[in-house]
Amino acid sequence: MVEMSRAEFEDLVRDALDEIPDELARVMDNVVVLVEDDPPPGEEDLLGLYEGVALTERTDSWAAGSLPDRIFVYRNPTLAICDSREDVVEEVAITVVHEIAHHFGIDDDRLHELGWA
C-alpha cells in the first residue's frame, strides 16, 4: 500500500485529465470528475465509477435540467493495490481513461479488448 495525501492524489487525477487529447476533452459534455476516499458500501474494490447517461445514449430532450454526469476516482482502494507512487500514477491514468470511455458509451467488454480495464 502506498501512502499519499488526498491533495497529492487529486493532483494525479488532474494530471491524468490533462493527458486526455484536446479533441476528446472538447466533446466531453456535462460531466464532472470527483475524487472520493472510498467507493460505496459493498463496492470496496472499485477504483472508479461513471454515473450518468453516456453521450451515445443522450437524446435532444436529455439536456433540459439534467445534472452533470459524474466520474468518481477512489483514493483508498487505488492506494491499497499499488506498491509505488509510479504504480499509483499509472492506475489513476487507467481509471480516468476507463471512466471517460464510459462517458463516450464504451462498455467494459470493449475496454477489456482495448486493454483499459
> pLDDT tens, 6-56?
999 999 999 999 999 888 888 888 899 999 999 999 999 999 999 998 888
Query: Which is nearest to 73 in space by CA: 86, 91, 56?
Result: 91
Contact 36, 47 (CB under 8 A): no
CA–CA dist 28, 38 (Å, integer): 25
pTM, whole model, 2 decimals?
0.89
Residue range 78-104, pLDDT digits in tens: 999 999 999 999 999 999 999 999 998
pLDDT at 112: 82
Going by CATH, does the domain composed of 6-114 fall within 3.30.2010.20?
Answer: yes
pLDDT at 110: 87
